Structure 1
Amino acid sequence: MTTLTMTQSGRIVIPKALRDQLNLHEGDEIIAEVEDGRLILSTRATRLKRARALIQKYCPTQPGESVVDEFLGERRKAAENE
């Protein structure tokens, strides 16, 4: 665990060891949110990975099948039944 100190202007420096561990570089955007009294920092890449995992969990596709292909197939079937 690493303890960080906030400056008078509200800035916090992320130590190099943590930046290296998280593959953070100057200019990277970091998303900050408060959850259950905790400050949670994450990168856009991490958020995107989590979102993709959730989509895959709730909307799985077969290997080689895209979500677009699946959607178009469903729309074609619906059109045939009209």
Structure 2
Amino acid sequence: MPGPKGFSEDQQPYEGAGALQSVSYARLKIDSAGRIVIPAEMRAAMMVKPGDTVTAEVVEGEFRIVSPDVAVRRAQAFANKFKADHPGISVVDELIAERREEARKDLEEANAWRATRGLPPLE
């Protein structure tokens, strides 16, 4: 019996509204509050609309705005590459192991600090 719609053991590729497009350079002005208006043609090419959240970064002096579609596609590509490069390794198990190791180190640090103050160790 299939599970509820939208859930699957195997990750399905993200399908956006359509293929992402490119738009040539445009000169944009920065207002006194530091805002930039993204032209409608560029917003359409990025498949974003008013109210959407985008991510931004500066890489080697270049300001880049990344749409949610691109962010999802990049994350999927990274996950697929990891899966291909590490067959048989569960990403979830790796993450849990990393978190447990971090927690162990945090506990060691906390107990070392507590020992310098004459406090009993945490378990």
Alignment counterpart, residue 46 of structure 1, candidates 49, 70, 78: 70
1:23 aligns with 2:47: yes
Q: Which residue of 1 aligns with 2:56?
A: 32
1 or 2, which has the higher strand percentage?
1
Secondary structure of residue in 1 paired with 2:72:
helix
| Aligned alpha-carbon RMSD (Å) | 2.0
Aligned residues: 64
Percent same amino acid among aligned pairs?
29
- Structure number with greater Rg is 2
Q: Partners in 2 of 1:47 and 1:21 — Cα distance?
A: 15
Uncovered stretches (5+) of structure 2, i.e. residues with no partner: 1-24, 91-123
CA contact (8 A) 2:47 2:67 kept: no
Q: Partners in 1 of 2:74 and 2:63 — Cα distance?
A: 18
TM-score (norm 1): 0.68
Equivalent residues in 2 for 1:1-82 (5 A)? 1-60=25-84, 71=90
Q: Which amino acid aligns with 2:70?
A: T
Q: Which residue of 2 aligns with 1:74?
A: none
4+ runs of 1 displaced by more than 3 Å? none
Q: Which amino acid aligns with 2:64?
A: I
